[in-house]
Amino acid sequence: MPAQSMADIMARLYAKADDVGDRFPEEARRIHHHEVPLRTIRGEASIQEALELLEEGIAVLPVGKRFKETKH
């Protein structure tokens, strides 16, 4: 997939995701455990928090803060 196409996909996903900020790990767990409706979220998590989510079987896609600063 060309780089531009991937950037376009990421921009669309970013725009449609609910920004939960630093509550990302908590909200990802709530979604995973069906405590809240399924939806796409974005936010912030430490490396340790992201690893814990992965160990719990919760799929996350770290994209870094640099993507947020990219303008399309």
The tokens describing 17, both together, are: 């995701």
pLDDT digits (tens, 9 = 90+) for 12-33: 888 999 999 999 999 999 999 9
User: Among 46, 45, 42, which Cα is nearest to 20's?
Assistant: 42
**Domain range list for the chain:** 3-69
C-alpha to C-alpha distance for 4 and 23, rounded to whole angstroms: 30
* pLDDT of 59 strictly over 70: yes
In this structure, are residues 46 and 66 in contact, taking their beta carbons and an 8 Å threshold? no
C-alpha to C-alpha distance for 1 and 10, rounded to whole angstroms: 13
* pLDDT of 4 strictly over 60: yes
Q: 1 falls in which pLDDT band (50, 70, 90)?
A: low
As a whole number, mean pLDDT of residues 48-68 equals 85
Instruction: Identify the DSSP state of 12.
Output: H
Confidence (pTM)? 0.78
